[in-house]
Amino acid sequence: MSKPVSICVIGSGYVGLVAAVCFAEIGHHVICVDNDEAKVKTLREGGVPIYEDCLPELLAKHLDRGVEFTSDLASAVERSEAIFIAVGTPQGETGAADLSYVEAVVSEIARHISSYKVIVEKSTVPVYTNEWISRVLHRHGVDTQSFDVVSNPEFLREGTAVIDFLHPDRIVVGANSERAAEVLRRIYAPLTTGVYYEQPRSLAGSCTAAQPARLLVTSAQSAEIIKHASNAFLALKISFINAVANLAESVDADIEDIAEGMGLDTRIGPKFLRAGLGYGGSCFPKDVAAFHWVAHQQGVNFKLLQEIRKINETQRDIFYNKVLAALWTLRGKRLAALGLAFKGDTDDIRDSPGIEVIKKLIEAGAMVTAYDPAAMERTKAVLPPSDKMRYAGDAYEAAKDADAVLILTDWKQFGKLDLVRLNQAVRFPIVIDGRNLYKPQTMHEHGFTYVSVGRPASYHAQQGKPRGMAL
């Protein structure tokens, strides 16, 4: 592969840790910095603090060879040519991204620059953050010839982040100087030239040596907007199909058929046209709000972003009402909740739609037993075990003697349950599916009353549709 670049990655969260390990995978030497000494110790010992496919294997492969972990920012900066900032940018009270962590890191970097560095925004930040980073460096006396600031947004999905990094749809580099752009080209050369995909132990994915990753070089401002605009548009697709689902349900149409018909149009495509509980996680809610704030600051009336958020929030209330309609009353009811993470294949519970629904159900007097393959320990921090909230070892234990089973997260295994065993476990065979993992006909054949999103409810003959209860 091409000549290795010495890289410093500041932050070892979902973005920083995946980036650090993947940069090592494509041949670079990486120093990953975090001020959490306990996390650094865990990583040095080969532990992975997040649930992410392929990450433990790659970390074991490159630990102390291609990637090292430290809390010594000064040394890491001095030893690196490119410095990637991957710290948190949480949403503030106004909706704007809180950039205080970014500013603190940049101020620290400024104290240790002794030669030319490329400082790379990897965190999701609003437009013009590159200019603010430059101003902070200037205020700390750093010569303008000693650095360039580049925007290199990430487009990683939790659960598939490693493959997304190594087999990207595109790599966006926002650089206002050719000197800086060339450093980023060198960093990503193993992917853009296809050399990485020729390696015998490379991870397989959509890119190949014949069809390598594509790199797009833009201005820093354009790259910053590309990230926010991309996430806002994906959130739009989710909210749009959920709005259509509510219409479809009111006229006894099937949203799955509608989404398939729409997705076959190549101008639209099938991805993110899955009706359900709506989006959650650390990216979409925060980025939609931040993008709206940026537009407002620039005098642009972007009301569409407000509607995206409103539809998404309403979707949780609609699901809650489905549970209420199916059970009539909730006080004293035993409910099995399958799924706590905001999506499948991750342990991330930030802004999880499922957890928000569970909180409302408990407030209404229900008793919930939950199961999630990866997110239960994190959830216990926000919903401690109690007489109203219990945790199970598997889906069938959660369903034991339940008045209804709620599917809240799209884990693949939740779509492959033994329906005979599930029916035997529950008190009443009622499944309320917030992720549309089953076909109504299949559930009916297995004796379930089945309520989903954007499709007619299927009432088993023994259950019947309750009079006066609209769904």
- Give catalytic residue positions: 283
Distance CA 312, CA 243 (A): 9
Distance CA 312, CA 236 (A): 9
Two tokens at 220? 């820093």
Length of the chain: 471
Of 467, 441, 445, nearest to 456 by C-alpha is 441
Two tokens at 158? 């939790």
Task: Specify whether the backbone of 401 is left (phi greater than 0), alpha (psi in -120 to 50) or beta.
Answer: left
Two tokens at 126? 């609003």
Q: DSSP letter for 415, please.
A: G
Q: SS3 of 10, please?
A: strand
Task: Specify whether the backbone of 251 is left (phi greater than 0), alpha (psi in -120 to 50) or beta.
Answer: alpha
Q: Where are the beta strands (DSSP E) in 363-448?
A: 367-371, 389-391, 404-407, 430-433
Q: DSSP letter for 412, please.
A: G
Name the one residue in this structure whose structure tokens are 């033994």.
418
Two tokens at 401? 């003697």
Of 101, 20, 1, nearest to 67 by C-alpha is 20
Q: SS3 of 96, please?
A: coil
Q: Number of H helices and number of E strands within the chain?
A: 17, 14
Distance CA 296, CA 353 (A): 27
CA atoms within 13 A on the CB side of 271: 6
Neighbours of 187 (CB within 10 A): 26
Q: SS3 of 84, please?
A: strand
Neighbours of 179 (CB within 10 A): 11
Q: DSSP letter for 340, please.
A: -
Q: SS3 of 5, please?
A: coil
Two tokens at 33? 């910095």
Two tokens at 249? 């349900």
